[in-house]
Amino acid sequence: MNKVEICGVNTSKLPVLSNDEMHQLFLRLRNGDQSAREQLISGNLRLVLSVIQRFNNRGENVDDLFQVGCIGLMKAIDNFDLEQKVKFSTYAVPMIIGEIRRYLRDNNTIRVSRSLRDIAYRVLQVRDNLANKYSRDPSVGEIASELNLSREEIVFALDAIQEPVSLFEPIYQDGGDPIYVMDQISDEKNIDEKWLENLSIKEALTRLGERERHILTLRFFRGKTQMEVAEEIGISQAQVSRLEKSALIQLKRQIQ
């Protein structure tokens, strides 16, 4: 995200327009001057650049995000109304973000049907309209009534366009080892005690301290989450995470 050149554009030399210059260019565009449109696009590319910084942890190609953001910028320029007395950046940023989010949803690794995505986009649009109208977040029932859909269809459509979360996404860190999403998930399949039938593992477990052995038993043989283990033995989840990792390292060494 620290590239100087994006899509052949030297971002270190992007122009900056004053409010008066923006106003005059929009007046010229209103009268059909297409060169004013080009100047407005060029003069607001820094806006696109600032928006795509918000998406720098998605693993997406920066050039692709910049191009999609420029599409949102052009839509904002073409639809901006000077009579609304709103700063262009205030109007443009949500449109740029919306365009990027649509791109990310459409290119999601989990394929969602076009009809379901269309419903989800309509839901998001109606939700924003109702939020502006009532100055609060609308309920699912209000959105469903507006679209003449069931509450279940609304929830299902919104769930379908949610981005998948990595099991290795950190959700907490207190300065020590981070706690990941996978640490919050219990696995009932691990109740099966086939592992205990392996003599080498049994022997290695007996060489661990009582608390470490108890933690591994709860986590991997009874399928409990780290939070559940922490509550049962009376320590913090961060401590459980550290003890668990340490015990697994010891276990691996003893088995080898």
Distance CA 89, CA 3 (A): 23
Burial class (CB in 10 A: 0-12, 13-18, 19+), 221: middle
Give, in order, the Cα–Cα distances in Å from 184 to each of 31, 66, 175, 190, 247.
59, 35, 19, 15, 18
Q: What angle do CA 23, 27, 30 make, to 5 degrees?
A: 140
Let me know: does 142 contact 128? Beta carbons within 8 Å.
no
Q: Tokens in use for 230? A: 């922490």
Asked if residue 226 and residue 175 are part of one domain, the reply reads: yes
pLDDT of residue 181: 66
Residue 163: DSSP 8-state: P
Asked if residue 97 and residue 1 are part of one domain, the reply reads: yes
Residue 217: DSSP 8-state: I
Helix 45-52 vs helix 62-79: angle between axes, to the nearest 10 degrees? 130
Q: Tokens in use for 253? A: 């060494």
pLDDT of residue 58: 64
pLDDT of residue 200: 64
Asked if residue 239 and residue 156 are part of one domain, the reply reads: no
Asked if residue 136 and residue 121 are part of one domain, the reply reads: yes
**CATH assignment at residue 84:** 1.20.120.1810
Asked if residue 151 and residue 92 are part of one domain, the reply reads: no
pLDDT of residue 7: 66
Parts of the chain with a pLDDT under 50:
1, 191-193, 195-197
Asked if residue 124 and residue 47 are part of one domain, the reply reads: no
Asked if residue 63 and residue 15 are part of one domain, the reply reads: yes
**CATH assignment at residue 250:** 1.10.10.10
Asked if residue 81 and residue 18 are part of one domain, the reply reads: yes
The domain of 130 spans 110-164
Would you tell me how many other CB atoms lie within 10 Å of the CB of residue 162?
12
pLDDT of residue 193: 46
Give, in order, the Cα–Cα distances in Å from 210 to each of 190, 203, 206, 217.
20, 14, 8, 10
Q: Which of 57, 59, 50 is nearest to 72 (CA)?
A: 50
pLDDT of residue 176: 63
Query: Which positions ≥6 away from 229 have C-beta within 8 Å?
Result: 215, 218, 219, 240
Asked if residue 174 and residue 137 are part of one domain, the reply reads: no
Would you tell me how many other CB atoms lie within 10 Å of the CB of residue 75?
15
Asked if residue 95 and residue 122 are part of one domain, the reply reads: no
Asked if residue 186 and residue 156 are part of one domain, the reply reads: no
Number of domains in the chain: 3
Alpha helices in 1-149 (DSSP H): 19-30, 34-43, 45-52, 62-79, 88-106, 114-134, 140-147
pLDDT digits (tens, 9 = 90+) for 103-132: 877 776 556 667 777 888 888 888 888 888
Asked if residue 126 and residue 95 are part of one domain, the reply reads: no
Let me know: does 219 contact 176? Beta carbons within 8 Å.
no
Give, in order, the Cα–Cα distances in Å from 83 to each of 40, 95, 209.
18, 18, 73
pTM (predicted TM-score): 0.45
